[in-house]
A and B are shown apart, each in its own frame.
Chain A
């Protein structure tokens, strides 16, 4: 999409050499992004374009600064934005994501390196870059360590060949994203028809003879599809391990409540157990490089609100309604009388539910679901 837009805009503006403009912009935006920005003031902008041109010239990329500046300006890919303060004009891309695209292009073309420290702000350019040009092993490893959740989307374009080193690489990626004290081992083998199999477990990492291959049920195992690279294999094993760790026993739900107070007590107990379970689960699944980020994405799981008298419903069984908001603490009270809950969503308690719907799923399963959904949000739809 970006490629098409860029070439169309350039065609319309009759820009001379788009290739050069894109290369220059890539180098410039990569530098800006390294500083966490997608804009520059005119003076700094001119300097950076000049430096980038010089840099390209060194690499045989050619042309003089004025021509490049002209090409960039006419392409319409960079806008001057007038800010309120002192009428400074800033140079920004037509859309923020174009900055990521240009930087990704420059990286994929080998003009610039990825920054040493990867931040959330770098996720988009990483992903775009991985689509244009596969990441090297060390780059993939840096992603696993610093932006673990990005590894999922980055892996989608990994077709690096399977080699002697692959089991070590897969294990390194897995151990970078898993919080375990003991390293996971990865055994790999090839079937008679040349399919590659990989199994995570406690055994030493490496290739094994097909005759001595373990049972596929001995540990999480994936059958690689043709063209799957090491990162794909690692991400598939990671997914299986996460799913397994997020599996939680159901326990018996409490008996059906007889009073508002009993319903309220059941929900309060349940809620406290959810908070405790979530803490345990996070220590078991959160990648070392993204503990806080995952925690933030899960959000508070406590509830502050009011439990109302049991209401009959048109569809489904009767229930004890609760109006609440999610908070760190658990602070639920039973309504003072049997009047029905307010019909309107008011500011204090904007979330609606009912006690049965909550307590029918065990606290452990509820917490696991919340963490799983947060992982999905940070990786990609339907990943888990």
Chain B
């Protein structure tokens, strides 16, 4: 199954509601106001200064690591990279940066609690037998990863006994009315997730585990712990983050794929749960919270390049340069009624035809039904002026 195929209109509607509640909080509004994509066009690019310039610079040079709900942990790590620092990092007042990072840390904290709370409704919680949760996998490492990690503290904090994600309203600075809405909207998402195929399949997989399967899962976890030990990683590559991340993810896949029977079904079901959460309540939720309603953009040469996957290719003119990887859009076309998330952007320079922006994007199935219709339309060149 592909991530995004398991998404019901109800789940998308609940996520929209929760994102809206978050985006009305003082903390989110303050941070959103500093993000490059929320600046008017004339204040982007060379014209940007301060925090927006810094974020824009890091987006450009380390885009895949720059997820809006991870800024607080990512930006200090990226700033300490000597390779990045050499590339003309914009100067930012240190006090201003420290203050901003503290706010970003509250946002990231609130998101981690929310994710943790949603994960706590999984069958068997807090005892999850998934080998993916062994230390140092892409899902648990404190080093570079593109995933929203599952931390140990999360399991110890009794989140499954709380009626709503604790401390979130405080962290976001919500007023009492806002706090009620935050809690209710979170419960809405929880209910929709509990009905998702991923959640239901995971419960089924847990009930099918016999003693042998449980032992196989324990053994897989031990094997992963060993193969991803500090020594083993250093032996593969002592310094560079990318080969290390590659090694983690490759090793994890290899061990999971060596499982068979109910143990494999369980591990795969966990993988689906994680991917569903990562997409919906991680990346997409973060986009909605900080950037609001997706734009509707005119597109042409729409195509679907990968059979069986909800991926769409398209070209734009001339808005392309202002669209970012990770951004959610509505496509003005008839083939894809759902919103999409931009995953790949390539520019084609041609002396005859000029500049073309080509995109590949993941279709967020059922958002067309789950989300309110678009109101922000990017005009097309062809429109009468």
Contact surface of A with B, Cβ cutoff 8 Å: 191-193, 195, 197, 201, 216-223, 225, 236, 240, 243-244, 250-253, 255-256, 315-317, 360, 381-382
Task: State the main secondary structure of chain A at its contact with B.
Answer: loop
* Complex CA–CA separation, A219 to B303 (angstroms): 10
> Closest CB-CB distance, B124 to chain A, in whole Å?
32
Q: Which residue of A lies closest to B249 (CB)?
A: A252
Q: Does B368 contact A (CB under 8 A)?
A: no
Q: Does B30 contact A (CB under 8 A)?
A: no
> Closest CB-CB distance, B5 to chain A, in whole Å?
9
A220 with B246, Cβ < 8 A, contacts A197-B335, A225-B301, A236-B301 known: no
Task: State the main secondary structure of chain B at its contact with A.
Answer: mixed
* Complex CA–CA separation, A217 to B335 (angstroms): 10
Q: Which residues of B contact A244 (CB under 8 A)?
A: 305-307
- In the complex, the answer to whether B304 meets A256 with C-beta atoms within 8 Å is no
Contact surface of B with A, Cβ cutoff 8 Å: 83, 86, 235-240, 243, 246-247, 250, 300-313, 333-336, 348-350, 356, 363
> Closest CB-CB distance, B345 to chain A, in whole Å?
14
Q: Which of A221, A225, A243, A255 is B237 in contact with, Cβ under 8 Å?
A: A255
- In the complex, the answer to whether B246 meets A193 with C-beta atoms within 8 Å is no
A252 with B237, Cβ < 8 A, contacts A216-B336, A236-B301 known: no
A252 with B250, Cβ < 8 A, contacts A191-B334, A360-B243, A381-B350 known: yes
A240 with B303, Cβ < 8 A, contacts A223-B333, A223-B334 known: yes
* Complex CA–CA separation, A251 to B249 (angstroms): 11
Q: Which of B301, B307, B336 is A219 in contact with, Cβ under 8 Å?
A: B307
* Complex CA–CA separation, A218 to B306 (angstroms): 9
Q: Which residue of A lies closest to B301 (CB)?
A: A225
- In the complex, the answer to whether A221 meets B236 with C-beta atoms within 8 Å is no
Q: Which of B301, B334, B363 is A193 in contact with, Cβ under 8 Å?
A: B334
Supplied contacts A216-B335, A221-B304, 11 more A-B pairs, CB within 8 Å: A191-B334, A195-B334, A217-B309, A217-B363, A218-B307, A222-B303, A236-B301, A243-B305, A250-B246, A253-B243, A256-B237
> Closest CB-CB distance, A299 to chain B, in whole Å?
25
- In the complex, the answer to whether B334 meets A220 with C-beta atoms within 8 Å is no
* Complex CA–CA separation, A360 to B247 (angstroms): 12
Q: Which residues of A contact B335 (CB under 8 A)?
A: 191, 195, 197, 216, 221, 223
Q: Which residue of A lies closest to B336 (CB)?
A: A216
Q: Which residues of B contact A217 (CB under 8 A)?
A: 304, 307-311, 363
User: Can you report 15 A-B residue pairs in the complex whose CB atoms are below 8 A from each other?
Assistant: A193-B334, A195-B335, A216-B336, A217-B363, A220-B304, A221-B335, A252-B246, A253-B243, A255-B236, A255-B237, A315-B86, A316-B83, A317-B240, A360-B243, A382-B348
